[in-house]
Amino acid sequence: MIKKSTFLLAALCSVVSIAQTYNVDLPNVSAVAVTNPVGLPQHSASVTVVRGPYLQSGTPTSVVVKWRTDIPTQSVVHYGKTLKSLSKKASNSALTTEHEVALSGLFPDTKYYFNVGNKSEVLSKSDSGEMYIITPPTAGTKQFVRAWILGDAGTANNNQREVRDAYYDYVEDAPQNKGKTDMMLFLGDNAYGSGTDEQYQNALFDIYDDMLKKSVAWSCLGNHDGKSADSATQSGPYYDIFTFPTNAQAGGTASGTEAYYSFDYANIHFIILDSHHTSRAVGGAMYNWTKADIQNTKQDWIVTLFHHPIYTKGSHDSDTEDRLIEMRQNFMPMMEANGVDLILNGHSHSYERSFFLNGHYGFAHTFNPDEISEGGHTVGENGHGDGKVDSNGAYQKTSAAAEGAVYITTGSAGKISGGDLNHQAMSVSLNQLGSCVMEVEDDGRGGQNLTVKFIRENDDIEDYFTINKSGIALKADSTASGLISGGLIYDANKGEVKLKVDKNDRLKKVNIYNNIGELVKKSRKESINVGKLPKGLYIIEVITKNKGYTESITIE
Amino acid sequence: MIFNKKGYLHFMFKRTLLILLFLLLSMPMLAHGDLTIRIAEKTIEISEDPNNFELYYQRGLLYQQHMEFDYALEDYLKSQFLGNTNKALHYQIAEVHFLTAAYTEALQSIEWYLELDSKDLSAKKLQAQILFQLQSHKKSLEGYRYVIHNMKDIRPEDVLEYCNIILAENNKNYKGALEAVEYGLDQLGPHTISLQLKKLDYLKDSGQTEKVLEQYNYFILEYNRNEFWYYKKAKYLTEINRPHEAFISLKLASVAIEQLNAKFKNMSPVIELKEQIKSLESSINNQKS
Ligand SMILES: [Fe+2]
Q: Is the distance from CB of A98 to CB of A177 less than 8 angstroms?
A: no
**Is B34 in contact with A315 (Cβ distance < 8 A)?**
yes
Phi, psi of B104 (to 5 degrees): -65, -45
| pLDDT for res B3 | 46
CB contacts, 8 Å: B263 with chain A: 300, 339, 399, 402, 471
In three-state secondary structure terms, A196 is coil
Average pLDDT, chain A: 88
ipTM of this complex:
0.85
Residue B25 has pLDDT above 80, yes or no: no
Smallest Cα–Cα separation from A519: which of B244, B130, B173?
B244
**Which is higher by pLDDT, A38 or A546?**
A546
Per-residue pLDDT at A514 exceeds 80: yes
pLDDT for the residue numbered A504: 87
Question: Which of the residues A24, A231, A247, A257 would you substitute to probe the B interface, choosing the one with the greatest number of B C-beta atoms within 10 Å?
Answer: A257
B151 pLDDT band (50/70/90 cuts)? confident
Whether residues B268 and A16 touch (CB distance < 8 A) is answered with no
Alpha-carbon span A499 to A123, nearest angstrom: 70
Confidence of residue A505 (pLDDT cuts 50, 70, 90): confident
CB A164 within 8 A of CB A170: no
Going edge to edge, which strands form the sheet with A426-430? Answer: A261-265, A268-272, A301-305, A342-345, A406-410, A351-354, A426-430
Q: Is A177 exposed, middle or buried (0-12, 13-18, 19+ CB in 10 A)?
A: middle
Supply the CATH classification number for the domain A145-275+302-320+342-470.
Answer: 3.60.21.10
Our separate counts of H helices and E strands in chain A read 8, 28
Q: Report how far residue A453's alpha carbon sits from residue A462's, in angstroms, rounded to the nearest whole number.
A: 8
pLDDT at A479: 47
Quick one: residue A101, left, alpha or beta (phi over 0 = left, psi -120 to 50 = alpha)?
beta
Stretch(es) of chain A classified as CATH 3.60.21.10? 145-275+302-320+342-470
Q: What pLDDT, on the 0 to 100 scale, is given for residue A192?
A: 87
Nearest to A220 by CA among A320, A309, A282, A159: A309
Angle between helices A285-294 and B156-169 (to 10 degrees): 120
Residue with the bigger pLDDT between B7 and A151: it is A151
CB-CB neighbours of A479 under 10 Å: 16
B67 close to A (CB below 8 A): yes
Buried residues in A288-299 as b, exposed as e (16+ CB within 10 A): bbbbbbbbbbbb
What is d(CA A200, CA A146) in angstroms, rounded to the nearest whole number? 24
Q: What is the DSSP string of B71-138?
A: HHHHHHHHHHHTT---HHHHHHHHHHHHHTT-HHHHHHHHHHHHHH-TT-HHHHHHHHHHHHHTT-HH
Where does the pLDDT of residue A223 fall: very low under 50, low under 70, confident under 90, or very high at 90 and above?
A: confident
Q: What is the domain class of A488-555 according to CATH?
A: mainly beta
Question: In this predicted model, which residue has the larger pLDDT, A496 or B17?
Answer: A496
The shortest C-alpha distance from B25 to chain A (Å) reads 7
CA distances from B97 to B26, B127, B128, B131 (A): 27, 12, 14, 13
Residue A32 has a pLDDT of 39
- Sign (positive or negative) of CA dihedral A246, A248, A252, A255: positive
Chain centroid, CA A543 distance in Å? 49
**pTM, to two decimals:** 0.87
pLDDT of res. B144: 94
A 243-272: CB under 8 A from B: 246-248, 253-257, 259
Is B120 an 8 Å CB contact of chain A?
Answer: no
- C-alpha A347 to ligand 1 mean position (Å): 4
Residues of chain B contacting A516 with CB distance shorter than 8 Å: 217, 220-221
The three-class DSSP label of residue A31 is: coil
Cis preceding linkage at A193, omega within 30: yes
pLDDT of residue A14: 39
Which phi and psi (to 5°) does residue A480 adopt?
Answer: -80, -60
Rg (C-alpha) for chain A, rounded Å, is 27
Cα–Cα nearest to A246, from B278, B185, B283: B185
Please check whether residue A230 is in contact with residue A237, taking contact to mean a CB–CB distance below 8 angstroms: no
Residue A379 in contact with residue A395, Cβ under 8 Å? yes
pLDDT for the residue A88: 96
User: In chain A, what residues touch B34 (CB-CB under 8 Å)?
Assistant: 315-316, 417
Whether the pLDDT of residue B20 is over 90: the answer is no
Residue A373 pLDDT more than 50? yes
CATH 2.60.40.10 residue spans of chain A: 49-132
Query: What letter does residue B28 receive in the DSSP assignment?
Result: S
Cα distance between residue A46 and residue B130, in whole Å: 52
Mean pLDDT of B154-174: 95
A49-132 CATH, one of 3.40.50.720, 2.60.40.10, 3.60.10.10, 3.20.20.10: 2.60.40.10
Pair B121, B151: CB distance under 8 Å: yes
Residues A65-88 have pLDDT tens digits of 999 999 999 999 999 999 999 999
Residues of B within 8 A of A231 (CB-CB) are: 155
Does pLDDT of A230 surpass 80?
Answer: no
Q: Residues of A with CB below 8 A from B153's CB?
A: 233-235, 239
Under 8 Å between Cβ of A212 and A55: yes
- Is the pLDDT assigned to residue A231 strictly greater than 60? no
| A538 CA distance to ligand 1 middle (Å) | 51
Show residues of chain A in contact with B249, CB under 8 Å: 517
Q: Which residue has the higher pLDDT, A465 or B2?
A: A465
Contact A256 B194 (CB under 8 A): yes
Please indicate whether, in this complex, the C-beta atoms of A285 and B40 are within 8 angstroms of each other: no
How many other C-beta atoms can be found within 10 angstroms of the C-beta atom of residue A22?
Answer: 7
Q: Rounded to whole angstroms, how far apart are CA atoms A216 and A52?
A: 12
Ramachandran class of A215: left when φ > 0, alpha when ψ lies in -120 to 50, beta otherwise: beta
Residues A530 and A553: beta-carbon distance below 8 Å: yes
Report residue A68: phi and psi, to 5°: -125, 140
pLDDT tier at A150, thresholds 50, 70, 90: very high
pLDDT exceeds 50 at position A298 = yes
**DSSP character at residue A151:** -
Tell me how far CA of residue A400 lies from CA of A405, A504, B173, in angstroms.
15, 43, 48
CB-CB under 8 Å, A255 with B194: yes
Residue A237 phi, psi dihedral angles, 5° rounding: -55, -45
Alpha-carbon distance of B155 to A229, in angstroms, equals 14
Q: Read off the pLDDT of each residue in A353-377 and give the average, rounded to a whole number.
A: 86
Averaged pLDDT, B224-239: 96
Instruction: Pick the more confident residue, A467 or B37.
Output: A467
**pLDDT tens digits for range A453-493:** 999 999 999 999 999 998 775 554 444 445 556 678 888 88
- Pick the closest to residue B145 from B112, B118, B183 (CA basis): B183
Task: Quote the pLDDT of residue A1.
Answer: 37
Strand partners, B105: none
Query: For residue A279, which residues of chain B lie inside 8 Å, CB to CB?
Result: 157
How far apart CA A28 and CA A131 sit, in angstroms, is 26
> If pLDDT is split at 50, 70 and 90, which confidence band does B19 have?
low
Residue of chain B with shortest Cα separation from A258: B155
Residue B196: predicted pLDDT? 97
Q: How far apart are CA A207 and CA A201, in angstroms?
A: 8
| Contact status of B194 with chain A (Cβ, < 8 Å) | yes
Q: Does B100 touch chain A (CB under 8 A)?
A: no
The helix (run of H) or strand (run of E) holding residue A230 is: none
Given this model, what pLDDT does residue A492 score?
A: 84
Query: Rounded to an integer, what distance in angstroms lies between the CA atom of residue A427 and that of residue A454?
Result: 13
Query: In whole angstroms, what is the distance from residue A217 CA to residue A198 CA?
Result: 18
Percent of chain B with pLDDT over 90: 73
B188·A234 Cβ contact <8 A = no
> A464 φ, ψ to 5°?
-160, 160
Q: Is pLDDT above 70 for A242?
A: yes
Whole-number Cα distances in Å, A158 to A35, A164, A193, B198: 22, 10, 16, 49
- Structure confidence at residue B239 (pLDDT): 96
Question: B interface mutation test: which of A14, A15, A472 has the most B CBs within 10 A?
Answer: A15
Average pLDDT over residues A501-524: 92
Question: To the nearest 5 percent, what fractions of chain A are helix, strand and coil?
Answer: 15, 35, 50
B47 touches chain A (CB under 8 A): no
Strands (E) in A220-350, as ranges, are 261-265, 268-272, 301-305, 342-345
Check A7 against B156: CB less than 8 A apart.
Answer: no
- Lowest-pLDDT choice from A242-251, A470-479, A490-499: A470-479
Tell me the backbone φ, ψ of residue A278, rounded to 5 degrees: -85, 150
List pLDDT tens digits, range A19-52: 333 333 333 333 334 444 444 444 455 899 999 9
Where would I find the H helices in B170-267?
A: 174-188, 193-205, 209-222, 227-239, 243-258, 262-265
A235 in contact with chain B, both atoms CB, cutoff 8 A: yes
